[in-house]
Structure 1
Amino acid sequence: MSQPVIALFTDFGVSDPYVGQMHARLVAEAPQARIVDLHHYAPAFSPGPAGLLLEALVPHLTPGSVVVGVVDPGVGTARGSLALATDEHWFVGPDNGLFASVLEAREGRCFRLREPEGDGLSVSFHGRDLFGPAAAALARGDRMVLGEEVAEPVRAEARRDAVLYVDHYGNLMTGLVPPEDGGARLRVEGRNIPFARTFGEVGPGELFWYRNSLDRVEIAAREGSAAKRLGAGTGTAVAWIGGV
Structure 2
Amino acid sequence: MIVLFTDFGIDDPYVGQMKAALLRTGRRDMPIVDLLHRVPDFAARAGAHLLAALQASFDRGSIFLAVVDPGVGSDRPAVVVEADGKYYVGPDNGLLSVVAARARERQSWRIVWQPDRLSTSFHGRDLFAPVAARIAAGDWPATWLAASGHLQQVLPADDLAEIIYVDHYGNAMTGLRAANLPPQARLRLGGRDVPPARVFAAAAAGDAFWYANSVGLVEIAVNRGSAASLLLLTPGSPVELVG
Report TM bin, short chain.
over 0.9
For the 8 Å contact 1:70–1:127, the answer to whether it is kept is yes
Task: Tell me the secondary structure at the aligned position of residue 162 of structure 1.
Answer: strand
**Equivalent residue number for residue 99 of structure 2:** 102
**Equivalent residue number for residue 163 of structure 2:** 163
Please, which runs of 5 or more residues in structure 2 have no aligned partner? none
Amino acid at match of 1:227: A
> Hey, what's the Cα distance between the residues in 2 that align with 1:61 and 1:97?
21
**Equivalent residue number for residue 85 of structure 1:** 82
Task: Tell me the secondary structure at the aligned position of residue 56 of structure 1.
Answer: helix
What is the TM-score when the length of structure 2 is the normalising length?
Answer: 0.93
For the 8 Å contact 1:93–1:131, the answer to whether it is kept is yes
- How many angstroms does 1:87 deviate by? 2.9
- How many angstroms does 1:157 deviate by? 5.8
- How many angstroms does 1:38 deviate by? 0.7
Task: Number of aligned residue pairs: give it.
Answer: 237
Alpha-carbon RMSD across the aligned residues, in angstroms, is 1.5
**Equivalent residue number for residue 114 of structure 1:** 112
Deviation >6 Å, runs of 4+: none
For the 8 Å contact 2:131–2:141, the answer to whether it is kept is no
> Hey, what's the Cα distance between the residues in 1 that align with 2:47 and 2:200?
26
> Hey, what's the Cα distance between the residues in 2 that align with 1:103 and 1:87?
9
**Equivalent residue number for residue 220 of structure 2:** 219
Q: Does 1:18 align with 2:14?
A: yes
User: 1:194-233 maps to which residues of 2 (within 5 A)?
Assistant: 194-233=195-234
Cα distance per residue 1:156-198 (max 9 Å; x no partner): 3686100000000000000111246521110112100000000
What is the TM-score when the length of structure 1 is the normalising length?
Answer: 0.93
**Equivalent residue number for residue 125 of structure 2:** 128
Work out the percentage of aligned pairs sharing the same amino acid.
44
- How many angstroms does 1:211 deviate by? 0.5
For the 8 Å contact 2:115–2:126, the answer to whether it is kept is no
Please, which runs of 5 or more residues in structure 1 have no aligned partner? none
